[in-house]
Chains A and B, each alone.
Chain A
């Protein structure tokens, strides 16, 4: 099956800085890579996703990049704000399967 590694486990930045979270996956047949945000005590919610036929996708202050050759993908948050503080999970979907494999999460802390 698929295995997803996520780094770092915690990330502290100052408001206005950029934040980058990286994930690697093991199976080159994975073709869908979503990112979920989970605020404290809340449910995970999808914030951005990318498919294997695309190298980069942006949505306002967040972007995701995918390097299929190296089998890694990254979440980029620019101009961070305190409300960006949350746990972020990456995931991968192996082609032909019905379930996502999640990374262990990154706790992002944005200090004012």
Chain B
């Protein structure tokens, strides 16, 4: 199993550009999450999904959108990139939100907006 994979690993955007961060998992997990981690800071939840077709906002959703058309994929869309979106983005998945709660993280995408 590859676990949770993310592409790209690095990206530089200009202000106003858009992009999609890809996330996929092969563990058949229902729950998937997107976090951002600013330098020296903790993990802030952007969006999450409890299953295909179901998404919900986290703590910092502004400027982002998500979709979940399959169990495996959970892409994060940035529209009109701003310098404040410079961060490391982690995707994670877990089997359920109940008994089995370990979140498995992807390797991260380092995004710089100039």
Contacts and interface: CB of A to CB of B under 8 A. Distances in A.
Interface of A: 6, 32, 34, 42-46, 49, 89, 93, 97-100, 102-105
Interface in B15-45: 31, 33, 41-43, 45
A98 B105 contact: no
B48 A98 contact: yes
B105 A45 contact: yes
A45 B107 CA distance: 11
A12 to B, nearest CB: 16
B101 A93 contact: yes
A49 B108 CA distance: 23
A49 B97 CA distance: 14
B101 A32 contact: yes
B101 A99 contact: no
Main SS of the interface on chain B? loop
A49 B103 CA distance: 11
Nearest to A33: B101
B106 A43 contact: yes
Contacts of A104: 41-42
Contact of A105 (B42, B50, B97, B101): B42
A43 B102 contact: no
Interface string B6-22: 00000000000000000
Contact of B42 (A93, A98, A102): A102
Contacts of A45: 105
A98 B29 CA distance: 13
